Structure 1
Amino acid sequence: MLKSEKSLGIIFFPAFDWAISPTHPEREERLLYTQDQLREEGLFDMEGIAEYKPLVADIEDVERVHFCFPEPQSVVTRSHLVSAGGAIRAAQLVMEGERDRSFAIVRPPGHHAMKVVHGSRGFCNINIEAVMIEWIREHYGPKRVAIVDTDCHHGDGTQDIYWHDPDTLFISLHQDGRTLFPGTGFPKDMGGPSALGRTLNIPLPPNTSDEGYLMAVERIVLPILEDFKPDLIINSAGQDNHYSDPITNMNVSAQGYAKLNSMLNPDIAVLEGGYAIQGALPYLNLGICLAMAGADFSHVREPDYTPEKWKQDARTTAYIEQLCDVLPQIYFNPPPFDGSEKSAQGVIAGDRAIRHKDIFYDTDGITEAQTETLYLCDHCRGLLSCESRSSNNPLCLGVEIPQSACPACRKKGYKLIEDAQIKGAYRYVQLINRLDKEYMRYGF
């Protein structure tokens, strides 16, 4: 009988009533095969490992994170609220000390959902990790959080949400965006002016195998986590780096994923992508669960796995070694941002940091034009506003007063809302006031 060194809570939610289409890669079978595998392997017979049911997130949990236009109910189904509630339940288990670690094996996924939401992109409507993290901060106070996104696709939504947050470290290991959706996630994207270096992208070349992936974790991720000293480590646990995944080009095995998780030692993992439904996901999830529980995972193998077949070539190894030499400096010594040139970082105009973004919602076919403004402040994180227009909605405005807002930024936030009401330029206006826990929306 395998023994667990750490107690682990596992939350399942396959979302039987939600699918993009019956044959879409993101469908309920992704989790059902895993559920069968874990039971067949006797995982829940191990002392310290138990299954839990998800909670249902409230609309307020969504509004704490996202500007949803025209309203959350237009983009969120019951399944999305349960998926986010599964992540919240995972957090609750750890924060209350009921379990040492937790793994939310839930769908629909969330890491492509950005701060502003008009619909679904990359199969994601709301960012379930962000909903979970802000639920933690709402109920347990300010926390330093590190998110390590190991999905094969760049976590562009999570990056967008935490772009200006110095208390959240976001690291994304992913297949190079020049070769895969969403075409983003490059080292030049380092975070906003008040959070430079808190965003770190590690774009890995196609055909990266266990060797390269684990090298990047050991030489880039772990030293940065050691320096950042987070209160919580969250693994955004996408599993589409697997060698058999039908929509990606990487060569990571179940053993590679388990070793990665053992090295990362996350407090909470939340499932993201992974679309090799029978040949990969049951073994990957089993390996991750055993690693999180501190149990022996050496026996976990895919039936068709041949190490030599999926070994990366010397050029790939040399390229990743170069990344390992260079990328840590983005965190430890980020170049100064003066905002004088237009770039992905945005520009500085007086007391404002401004970014213009054109966003395509590939799942729903929506186009969005957005202007994000951070009002720079010496006393707090700064007031955030987002002007957004999409092919679904006319001009909208979102204003966020941060949890640590100073009196001046709080006052300025309400002034923006008041001016929007007077001018009548916006069809929908939403206020996120984290300081006073006030979440309001207006339609004109």
Structure 2
Amino acid sequence: MSAREALSQVDCTKANATGTLRDSCNKDSIHAWTVDLCMKALQEICSTPVSNGTQSDRPSKLEVWGYGGLFVLLVSLSSVVGVFFLPLMKMESYKKVLMGMVGLAVGCLCGSAIFHLIPQAFQLPDETVPELEAYLFKALVIIAAIYAFFLTERLLKLSVDHRKRKKQLSRSRLSGIARESSPGNDTKVYSSSNGGHLEDYGHSHLHDPLKLGNGHGETMSDDSFDETRGQHCSNIHVKIPPSEVRTHQHEHDFDTVELKSHPIKTVAWMVITGDGIHNFVDGLAMGAAFSVSLLEGISVSIAVLCEELPHELGDLAILLNSGMKLKKALLYNFISACTCFIGLIVGILLGGMEEAQTWIFALAGGMFLYISLVDMLPEMTHTAEEASSESFKSGMIMLGIQNVGMLSGFTIMFLLARYARDITFEKT
């Protein structure tokens, strides 16, 4: 038997490994053995893999239930925090703050799925350190590609909107100059009974057609002015019914709370049911993550918290607009959030089964990616487009706020995954 073959059969984990090596030595193979030993040492064939979730490193049951229950309680309380934001919903800065929170949620959810949940689903933390680091940096490239395409699309849209706005402004200026220079402009003067004049410059701020009366019950619409251009009309009265008077105001979905007792729309019950299922899966992921390690559980919980706060604010607004009263909406929102406790219990119970853990992490990773990239990222895009349509400056400000939130979420999740082995929780 050659020296290499004899060495390959040695079990380095056994206590008699040195004796086996000594018995296999002879004068002819001592030189070859020295070379083989050096090569095997360099290849770390006798080193045990560094595991991120060995049985000795796992938290105790008290820590799992304690930390898990604490973070689930924080997630559930986020459902009633929305009542404190109701007075702020009328402020102009509210949408900017909300979009910053949505950006942070996108970064945390997407980062948690790619840096934490998917590796746990494929049991990558049980591999050696170089292999895990190689995955993390490749995953970072995936995140960078997602962010780069989002940023490029938004900048191109901003540029296109800015050019379109400049062209429209130049055209309106040219048309205004041409209208002023033409001999027959559209200025119309009408006489009224009090000797005043009604001047029409071709632009009206009224949303509805006006009814004009001559004092004898006869009415004429604004279209009839074309037939009477230049003629003197006496005793003209403008009649605007009180129901037709409209004030110019910006109406938001949750500026006011409807207190009328009318039937609750079906969308409210759909939101409550969907939110309950969503929170159950969140609790499932948190329970399984805390069963593996406290750091994994905290990282997943941070992602859930960052996503839940803006999500619950939106749900509260939908429930109020669907006809629910404020107290009832808060109650149902809290009840749907409490399903997270049920998910936590199931996740912890299944967390002791290694096969079940991987499937839970896979399910949670897919849900986190869907919510962040399909649900919340289009919302950011829509809000950025609205800001861009107003002005280039407002579009850039909104894009900057969203980028700060996204990059913060990505960075937090990457650092937690990269330095997970250096962060320990001392057991007292």
Question: Normalising by the residue count of structure 1, what TM-score does the alignment of the two structures yield?
Answer: 0.19
Task: Work out which structure has the larger RCO, using CA pairs closer than 8 Å and 6 or more positions apart in sequence.
Answer: 2
Q: Which has the higher helix share?
A: 2
Bigger strand share:
1
